[in-house]
Structure 1
Amino acid sequence: MTQPYLFEFPEIGAPEKGFITVAENLKNIPFEVKRVFWTHSIPAQAIRGNHAHYRNQQILVALQGSVTVITTSPSGEEKSFELHSPDQALYLPPNVWRIMNYSENALQLVLSSELYDETDYIRDISDFQNQWK
């Protein structure tokens, strides 16, 4: 199984004019993007996530502010990732539990490999842990 990992999108531009950051299907994104959504207006220190997916792969980007993502693998290994720049991204493979904590005024972009499907969610941590025993 693939583990979550941080990577950077290419930036084009200069400080005096600004930058464009580029994400491309199957080039620097390891899957075809089928769904895009963003989270915003989240109260500071609010917790979101608390789930895993059976099939869905995701790329998370903090477009504004910061997002701390705590992941748990099926083996129980926990990792913490801090997203704080719009050219930095976190790849989340299927079957990884995630908890996200947001700074004030955070804006998070999510690129997904699947359309929304409630049956793809694992919403109970006990179910997630029991699946891998």
Structure 2
Amino acid sequence: MTTIQDINLLKIPVVENLSGNLAFIQNDILPFEFKRVYYLFDVPSNAFRGGHSHIEQHEVLIALSGSFEVTVNDGSTKKSYLLNKPNVGLHLPKGIWRELENFSSGAVCLVFASDIFEESDYIRNYDVYLSSKK
């Protein structure tokens, strides 16, 4: 069963240059092979994103620009992460409830997902999620 201890921050390699830094992500950097990449942008500061868990899919979230807060929950323990660096990713394994909020102006959240979009992989009701953890 997945717990908060299975969540980790990933350091994304950066090539530093006076004319601008370059971060690169390949499948050998992530703890899974990604099959989908998407991003959230123009999120109002008072908006709430996430509010779900995945049955099988893993994700890595990166604040490409600006900042936002990710609150994770394994059914018994909650923890919050402030993402605000484009060279740090938050790995969310399957079975973790996530909520994203407090987006700064201009924030961009990049997500690498281990699989294509499948609605059947989502648990969108918190009570159903809690039942799945028993």
Question: TM-score if structure 2 supplies the norm length?
Answer: 0.93
Q: Which one has a larger percent strand, Structure 1 or Structure 2? A: 1
Contact 1:45 1:104 (8 Å CA) reproduced:
no
In the aligned structure 2, how far is the partner of 1:69 from the partner of 1:5?
12
Q: Which amino acid aligns with 2:12?
A: F
Cα distance, 1:79 vs structure 2: 0.8
DSSP-derived class of the 1:126 partner: helix
In the aligned structure 2, how far is the partner of 1:129 from the partner of 1:103?
30
The answer as to 2:33 corresponding to 1:32 is: yes
Which residue of structure 2 aligns with residue 13 of structure 1?
Answer: 16
Cα distance, 1:111 vs structure 2: 0.3
Query: When the two structures are aligned, how many residues end up with a matched partner?
Result: 130
In the aligned structure 1, how far is the partner of 2:133 from the partner of 2:113?
24
Contact 1:44 1:105 (8 Å CA) reproduced:
no
Question: TM-score if structure 1 supplies the norm length?
Answer: 0.93
In the aligned structure 1, how far is the partner of 2:34 from the partner of 2:71?
23
Q: Which amino acid aligns with 1:8?
A: K
Identity %: 33
Q: CA RMSD in A?
A: 1.1
In the aligned structure 1, how far is the partner of 2:7 from the partner of 2:107?
21
Cα distance, 1:4 vs structure 2: 1.4
Which residue of structure 2 aligns with residue 128 of structure 1?
Answer: 129
Contact 1:45 1:103 (8 Å CA) reproduced:
no
Cα distance, 1:35 vs structure 2: 0.4
Alignment of 1:79-118 (within 5 A): 79-101=79-101, 102-118=103-119
In the aligned structure 2, how far is the partner of 1:36 from the partner of 1:7?
17
Cα distance, 1:45 vs structure 2: 2.8
In the aligned structure 1, how far is the partner of 2:87 from the partner of 2:34?
18
Cα distance, 1:107 vs structure 2: 0.6
Cα distance, 1:71 vs structure 2: 0.1
Mark the runs of 5 or more structure 1 residues left unpaired by the alignment: none
Runs of 4+ in 1 over 2 A off after TM superposition: none
Contact 1:52 1:95 (8 Å CA) reproduced:
yes
Which residue of structure 1 aligns with residue 63 of structure 2?
Answer: 62
Mark the runs of 5 or more structure 2 residues left unpaired by the alignment: none
In the aligned structure 1, how far is the partner of 2:81 from the partner of 2:63?
11
